[in-house]
């Protein structure tokens, strides 16, 4: 039997509407923070956040491998967008923000580690000479890329697969050896399927405006260089990005929000004057019914589909069609004395090269805080699997470590034995943004908008990166607040 529990309304928050946030990943936490005025000082609602798992953070996860604190999920945030930095500062992590020590990465292709070319936009070069110098492309691949400057215009319509567009302009090799591994690092997907408009809008603008992609990228990069912005492109957090969810949760609690872990939501219902949410756990574990004026749904798309199946079947069907990619991260800890020097921040591996790993990050080179915390250790990680290739996640830990070590030996000459390891499987880790994704999201949001006091947010909608998820949480918070204001008028 369910028990109905009114949510406590204490102190100054008593007269505010009550919003239930479902999902305690970074999007849900950002929504809760916004509603409690943590970002801008304006309290908009009383907040109860319900998280299914025993911890907050979702894909942000702090861990420890061989006595060294590391990120076992996301590890870096785009700093060219303001949202992640703003939120980190608002919850007291401003001083802890740290850019990578080195951004120099390599590509393991055609039998060796080769420098990542400079001056490109998601792998599309702005300078063929610079690309030629890296040896990433074969002579034939380079000759084909050069045809971009003379080929007639590529008609792309409203949208096109990133790979399809780049292959038409510069040839398949640029897609296989540059675009695929770079896009793979963000989506773990396939360049031909991923939407140019959703994933690389800057390149879509170039494709719509210019005949030559190379010239368009060159001009865009030259314009960016004229506007010298000393801010680094990415930032980390001293101790790991995984600290951010805990800091946001603490700030939310301190601001009067109620946050619960181990509380999966099983059902969502509309009532005459608001919403009820039924949890799977609660008093005596029979489940609990909570009431609210509005709901922010900050869960992965399949969960949102399930919760909206009766309320908004059209939106639920669209949500159910959003596909996810899974991957495994293998973190290896070495005694530094056992290793020779390793170059830069790590390397990407084009899938076409047929290796087991898709990338390796030399974390102790990349993050100064990690090097400082454990100067006699060296931590690196590899990733395996991408959309449609998730079978690799079913291999046991020992096999994933062995495959990683074999590739690290061949790519970077690492023969030492790690003294500790951790394998983290992220099944359904990253939503895919195929051609048509923005239109699908628009249909989902239009359907959700017919249910006043409901907003969806998270990686499935307007960007998978942490700043995009934070922005989406804020957008959802604003949307439900507006609904409540207009509903009260
Ligand atoms: C391995 C990996 C590495 C990544 N690296 C980076 C990176 O370096 N930089 C970057 O910007 N991005 C990175 N990303 C992407 C980014 O981390 C995610 O897109 C983002 O964190 C997703 O946040 P979210 O809040 O939308 O979803 P999630 O993090 O998935 O959070 C959703 C939450 O909802 C909860 N939930 C699910 N069902 C229910 C229910 N029924 N009731 C209540 N709660 C429920 C879940 O337990 C979870 O906590 C990475 C992603 C992965 C998988």
Paired with 68 in beta bridges are 65
Residues 425, 281 within the same domain: no
Residues 301, 437 within the same domain: yes
CA nearest ligand 1 atom 34, residue:
23
Domain presence at residue 236: no
- Between the CA of 464 and the centroid of ligand 1 the distance, in Å, is 9
Tokens 């969502």 belong to residue: 268
Domain presence at residue 16: yes
Is the overall model pTM greater than 0.85, yes or no? yes
Domain presence at residue 235: no
Residues 303, 441 within the same domain: yes
pLDDT value at residue 281: 79
Residues 183, 92 within the same domain: no
Query: At 386, which CATH number?
Result: 3.90.660.20
Domain presence at residue 148: yes
Domain presence at residue 401: yes
pLDDT value at residue 11: 40
Domain presence at residue 412: yes
- Between the CA of 25 and the centroid of ligand 1 the distance, in Å, is 5
pLDDT value at residue 287: 83
What's the whole-number mean pLDDT along residues 261-286?
Answer: 89
Domain presence at residue 110: no
CA 194 to chain centre: 15
Upper half-sphere CA count for residue 240 (Cβ side, 13 Å): 22
Q: Which atom of ligand 1 is nearest to the CA of 75?
A: 8
Paired with 295 in beta bridges are 20, 454
- Between the CA of 252 and the centroid of ligand 1 the distance, in Å, is 19
284 three-state secondary structure: helix
- Between the CA of 383 and the centroid of ligand 1 the distance, in Å, is 17
pLDDT surpasses 70 at 283:
no
Contact residues of ligand 1, CB 6 A cut-off: 22-28, 50-53, 58-60, 73-77, 264-265, 298-300, 303, 327, 329, 426, 429-430, 458-459, 464-466, 469
Final residue of a domain: which of 414, 431, 448? 431
Final residue of a domain: which of 161, 192, 226? 226
pLDDT value at residue 489: 57
Q: In a mutational test of the pocket of ligand 1, which residue from 20, 21, 22, 23 has the highest number of ligand atoms less than 8 Å from its CB?
A: 23
Q: 124 is written with which tokens? A: 């599309």
Query: At 275, which CATH number?
Result: 3.50.50.60
What's the whole-number mean pLDDT along residues 244-261?
Answer: 98
pLDDT value at residue 488: 63
Query: At 217, which CATH number?
Result: 1.10.3110.10
What's the whole-number mean pLDDT along residues 332-359?
Answer: 96
Give the pLDDT confidence of 79-88 residue by residue, as tens digits: 989 999 999 9
72-75 long-range contacts, Cβ below 8 Å, gap at least 24?
72/242, 72/329, 72/331, 72/422, 72/424, 73/241, 73/242, 73/329, 73/424, 73/426, 74/241, 74/242, 74/466, 75/236, 75/240, 75/241, 75/361, 75/363, 75/367
What's the whole-number mean pLDDT along residues 46-63?
Answer: 98
Residues 281, 134 within the same domain: no
Tokens 């074999």 belong to residue: 406
State the Cα–Cα distance between residues 257 and 248, nearest whole angstrom. Answer: 11
Residues 133, 219 within the same domain: yes
Final residue of a domain: which of 431, 452, 469? 431
Number of domains in the chain: 3
Q: Which atom of ligand 1 is nearest to the CA of 424?
A: 1
Max distance between CA atoms of the chain, in angstroms, equals: 72
**Out of 219-223, 253-257, 301-305, least confident range:** 219-223
pLDDT surpasses 60 at 7:
no
Q: 334 is written with which tokens? A: 């070495």
- Between the CA of 226 and the centroid of ligand 1 the distance, in Å, is 36
Give the pLDDT confidence of 451-461 residue by residue, as tens digits: 999 999 999 99
CA nearest ligand 1 atom 48, residue:
58
Residues 213, 90 within the same domain: no
- Let me know if 294 is exposed, middle or buried by CB neighbors in 10 A (0-12, 13-18, 19+): buried
List the domain range (segments joined by +) for residue 209. Answer: 115-226
Q: Which atom of ligand 1 is nearest to the CA of 464?
A: 19
Residues 190, 160 within the same domain: yes
- Between the CA of 232 and the centroid of ligand 1 the distance, in Å, is 24
State the Cα–Cα distance between residues 283 and 3, nearest whole angstrom. Answer: 7
Residues 318, 440 within the same domain: yes
Upper half-sphere CA count for residue 222 (Cβ side, 13 Å): 8
- Between the CA of 272 and the centroid of ligand 1 the distance, in Å, is 32
Residues 218, 129 within the same domain: yes
Domain presence at residue 108: no
Q: Which residues contact 383 (CB under 8 A, 6 or more apart)?
A: 188, 327, 328, 329, 330, 357, 358, 359, 360
- Between the CA of 459 and the centroid of ligand 1 the distance, in Å, is 7
State the Cα–Cα distance between residues 228 and 393, nearest whole angstrom. Answer: 43
Residues 142, 218 within the same domain: yes
Residues 48, 170 within the same domain: no
Give the pLDDT confidence of 375-401 residue by residue, as tens digits: 999 999 999 999 999 999 999 999 999
């Amino acid at each position: 039997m369910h028990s109905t529990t009114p949510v406590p309304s204490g102190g100054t928050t008593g007269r505010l509407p009550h919003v239930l946030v479902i999902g305690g990943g970074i999007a849900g936490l950002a929504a809760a923070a916004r509603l409690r005025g943590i970002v801008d000082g304006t309290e908009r609602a009383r907040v109860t956040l319900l998280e299914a798992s025993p911890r907050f953070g979702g894909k942000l996860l702090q861990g420890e491998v061989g006595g060294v604190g590391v990120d076992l999920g996301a590890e870096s945030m785009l700093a060219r967008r303001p949202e992640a930095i703003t939120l980190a500062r608002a919850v007291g992590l401003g001083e802890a923000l740290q850019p990578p020590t080195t951004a120099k990465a390599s590509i393991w292709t055609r039998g060796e580690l080769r420098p990542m070319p400079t001056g490109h936009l998601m792998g599309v070069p702005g300078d063929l000479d610079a690309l030629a110098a890296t040896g990433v492309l074969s002579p034939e691949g380079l000759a084909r890329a050069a045809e971009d400057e003379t080929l007639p215009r590529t008609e792309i319509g409203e949208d096109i697969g990133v790979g399809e567009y780049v292959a038409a302009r510069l040839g398949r090799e640029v897609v296989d050896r540059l675009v695929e591994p770079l896009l793979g690092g963000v989506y773990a997907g396939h360049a031909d399927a991923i939407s140019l408009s959703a994933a690389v809008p800057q390149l879509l603008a170039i494709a719509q405006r210019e005949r030559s992609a190379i010239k368009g990228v060159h001009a865009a990069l030259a314009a960016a260089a004229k506007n010298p912005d000393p801010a680094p492109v990415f930032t980390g957090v001293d101790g790991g990005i995984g600290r951010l969810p805990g800091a946001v949760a603490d700030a939310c609690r301190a601001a009067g929000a109620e946050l619960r872990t181990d509380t999966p939501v099983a059902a969502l219902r509309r009532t005459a004057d608001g919403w009820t949410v039924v949890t799977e756990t609660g008093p005596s574990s029979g489940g609990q019914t909570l009431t609210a004026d509005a709901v922010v749904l900050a869960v992965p798309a399949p969960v949102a589909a399930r919760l909206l199946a009766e309320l908004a079947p059209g939106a639920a069907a669209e949500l159910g069609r959003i596909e996810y990619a899974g991957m495994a991260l293998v973190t290896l800890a070495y005694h530094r004395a056992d290793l020779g020097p390793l170059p830069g921040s790590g390397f990407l591996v084009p899938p076409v090269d047929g290796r087991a790993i898709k990338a390796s990050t030399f974390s102790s080179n990349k993050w100064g805080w990690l090097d400082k915390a454990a100067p006699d250790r060296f931590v690196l990680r590899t990733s395996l699997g991408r959309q449609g290739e998730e079978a690799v996640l079913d291999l046991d830990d020992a096999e994933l470590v062995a495959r990683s070590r074999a590739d690290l030996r061949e790519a970077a000459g690492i023969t030492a034995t790690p003294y500790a390891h951790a394998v983290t499987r992220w099944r359904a880790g990253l939503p895919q943004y195929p051609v048509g994704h923005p239109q699908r999201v628009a249909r989902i949001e239009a359907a959700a908008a017919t249910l006043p006091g409901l907003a969806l947010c998270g990686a499935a909608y307007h960007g998978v990166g942490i700043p995009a998820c934070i922005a989406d949480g804020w957008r959802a918070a604003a949307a439900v607040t507006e609904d409540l204001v207009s509903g009260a008028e």
